[in-house]
Amino acid sequence: MKERMNIVFVGHVDHGKSTLIGRLLADTNSLPKGKLEQVKRACRLNSKPFEYAFLLDALIDEQAQGITIDTARVFFKTKKREYVIIDAPGHIEFLKNMISGAARAEAAILLIDAHEGIAENSKRHAYMLSLLGIEQVVVAINKMDLVDYNPEVYENTKKSYSEFLSEIGINPIEFVPVSARNGINLITRSNLTPWYKGKTIVELIDGFRKVNDDSRNHFRMYVQGVYKFTDNGNDRRIIAGAVNSGIIEVGDEIILYPSGKTARVKSIEIFGRSNVKHAEAGMAIGITIDTELYVKNGELICKKKETPPHLSNRFKANIFWMGKNDLLAGKTYKLKIGALKTEMHVEKIETVLDASSLAVYENPGKVSRHEVARVIINTHKPIPFDLQGEIKDTSRFVIVEEYDISGGGIITEELKDSEPSS
Ligand code: GDP
């Protein structure tokens, strides 16, 4: 099976997002057989001009009616990969999935209209990408046909947008002059833009890095439980958990956080299997170790020779709130990262982004349902974790209010205890 990658397309309404997606589907031969002709025929029958954007509408309609099996997902294929197109920025579901890690976009195409220029929404979209930690961004400057493929328009748009983007920490891989409607610079470089020496949209998309390849990352496993049992008259203890990332082998030297205790892996136990020599991300396992250690639930097992996690009771995070009540600074909640559970409170709410309007508020005092916020969190004990972009499972947490999962977040920066917040 081909490698798969999630890409989000964002752009102000009417800047040509559906056209770009429709055109990519058609030009990479990713459409179901006969679809292009069918949509073209329907246009002729209704005497309206064909638009590539209709292809996307047609596919989504079909999915809504349950005709295609893979619901609400649009794919396109290149020689290298399959891409899942996420076309719902600003939608609550998208932000929730992004923050909770359920369906993370690994890269983004930001679309702006060369003719109309940068809209307020183009800025909000970029800000949203920066809050969500999407680092791989390509900007498509669309509708170049309406400005006669004038390099000056491209340069000016590129200059002013990249200045804004760098202020919020986004450094696009490339700005591509395109005409989605005419298929210019999408798959092959066009001689209508001889002054553009960069890559095409599809070449750039194929060049995106796969992020969060968990099995190749450092080993991490939060302890879920420690079970004692007697085996042939010997007392044995099994430390159980689900491997969050990396690989563990019999004989590896492990270190536990926050205690710093070390031991060697004596055996790896997987239900229903014998003589297991190694295990990797996604597997539920038990291990036995060569020393008698007091191991607690929620401790993080790492490998001694690999990069250690962060250890702190204070960090910055981006959270998505879906609680019934507003999230308030200073109030105690429960925080869970994998099998780790602890108490926490929010020390400071720095900014809030409204998921529907994408408006941003500074120092808002509270986070309401369906808002994304940049916050400083204090846990009541130091905890081991990783940061966004380092390891997926150990940088994501949920916030529990009473018994409900009320929010999810990604840790972006470790802060030292009582460090003044910037
Ligand atoms: P969306 O709202 O961003 O999805 O925008 P659409 O894809 O629906 O496009 C909005 C309008 O812009 C439609 O009438 C498209 O035909 C038109 N459009 C999209 N891309 C181009 C382009 O490259 N050149 C021109 N001239 N029009 C375009």
Q: Which amino acid is residue 74, in one-letter code?
A: V
Q: In this structure, what are the phi and psi dihedrals at residue 295, rounded to the nearest 5 degrees?
A: -110, 135
ipTM: 0.99
Residue in 10, 14, 153, 185 to alter for ligand 1 test, most ligand atoms within 8 A of Cβ: 14
Q: What percentage of the chain carries pLDDT values higher than 90?
A: 58
Nearby residues of 261 by Cβ (< 8 Å), 6 or more positions away: 255, 293, 295
Which atom of ligand 1 is the closest one to the Cα of 180? 23
Share of the chain above pLDDT 70, in %: 92
- CA 336 – CA 318 distance, rounded (Å): 15
- With bands split at pLDDT 50, 70 and 90, how would you rate the model's confidence at 196? very high
pLDDT digits (tens, 9 = 90+) for 104-119: 788 999 999 999 998 8
Between 214 and 141, the higher pLDDT residue: 141
Q: Are 244 and 220 spatial neighbours (Cβ–Cβ below 8 Å)?
A: yes
Distance 14 CA to ligand 1 centre (A): 6
- pLDDT, position 159: 95
Alpha carbon of 13 to ligand 1 centroid (Å): 9
Please tell me the predicted confidence (pLDDT) of residue 68. Answer: 42
CA of 178, closest atom in ligand 1: 23
Q: Whose CA is nearest to atom 20 of ligand 1?
A: 16
Mutate to test the pocket of ligand 1, among 19, 20, 192 (most ligand atoms within 8 A of CB): 19
Question: What is the CA(327)–ligand 1 centre distance, in A?
Answer: 40
Q: What is the 3-state secondary structure (H, E, C) of 20-53?
A: HHHHHHHHCCCCCCCHHHHHHHHHHHCCCCCCCH
Q: Which numbered atom of ligand 1 lies nearest the CA of 146?
A: 26
How do residues 228-269 score in pLDDT, each as one tens digit?
888 778 888 999 999 999 999 999 999 999 999 999 999 999
Residue 69 has pLDDT above 70, yes or no: no
d(CA 322, CA 85): 25
Among the ranges 11-20, 282-291, 300-309, which has the highest mean pLDDT value? 300-309
What pLDDT band is residue 71 in, cutting at 50, 70 and 90?
Answer: very low
Q: Cβ atoms within 10 A of the Cβ of 328, count?
A: 13
**CA 273 / ligand 1 centre spacing (Å):** 56
- Quick: pLDDT tens for 380-400: 999 999 998 888 889 989 999
* Averaged pLDDT for residues 281-293: 91
